[in-house]
Amino acid sequence: MQTVWITGASSGIGEACAYRYAEGGCRLILTSSSRPRLESVADRCRQKGAKDVRVLPYDLCEPDGIKLLVREAWTAFGGIDILYCNAGISQRTSVEDTPMPMVRKIMELNFFAPVALAEAVLPLMISNGGGRIAATTSIAGRFGFPLRCAYSASKHALYGFFETLRAENHGKGISVTLVCPGRVRTNISFNALDKGGERHGVMDPGQDGGISADRAAKKIVRAIKRRKNEVLVGRGELIMVYIKRFFPDLCARLARKIKPM
């Protein structure tokens, strides 16, 4: 029976993945900053077949408590088989309108928190015979486009860190899956930071036309099970990843034309 720890589990992709793992009879550890929402997700996970569910609410923008959080998660069921670092936040501001405190907040949650979690869990997994680590990046981690400067930077950084972690731990029973969503119908645009650090509060048309979180979760859970290095999740927008790879100048021109909202 596997134990799965998911951050950002109170909504969107994290919530949908929790339900998928629950249907498989896993033990679940759920983390986000909202205890009430986590409790609701946990109850539904139990109804869907999860063997046991623990709720560990925590604000991952607070780095000082992450090591203790990892210890609590690890001891909840005596180990963790899968760590899925999914929590994150986006933005809807230009470079000129993105102050450094906003950049640091986005980097703290999207990059430094997954790094801290992985670094603390990794030696425990190795001593326990291995494990799987996954992190949600984005197609914005493959190329930049308007109104996503800090968000895109944080997602680019995840690739560098987790690809290095994978290379260094080859042969130690550790697999790393980078989850690269395009447009998925979640609340990420609602919760994105706008000017002054306010909540954007709008469902972007592109997001609204994306695939469902449940459909995304099905593909993500399968990829982690198969120890895939990367999984692209979305529809036609994913072609931009390949355009960037083979035709970078064309990608730059197309990125300028993408409607950022």
- Residues assigned a catalytic role: 151
Instruction: Give the sheet arrangement for strand 52-55, strand by strand.
Output: 52-55, 27-31, 3-7, 82-85, 131-136, 174-181, 230-233
Distance of CA 97 to the CA centre of its chain: 25
- Tokens representing residue 82 in the block: 């899968």
- What does the radius of gyration of the chain's CA atoms come to, in whole angstroms? 18
* φ, ψ (nearest 5 deg) of residue 85: -85, 100
C-alpha distance across the termini of the chain, in Å: 42
Burial label for 24, CB within 10 Å (0-12, 13-18, 19+), is: middle
Question: What is the crossing angle of helices 35-48 and 12-23, to 10°?
Answer: 30
CA distances from 119 to 38, 47, 161 (A): 25, 33, 11
Q: Which of 156, 57, 66 is closest to 106 using CA atoms?
A: 156
Q: Cβ(215)–Cβ(188) under 8 Å? A: no
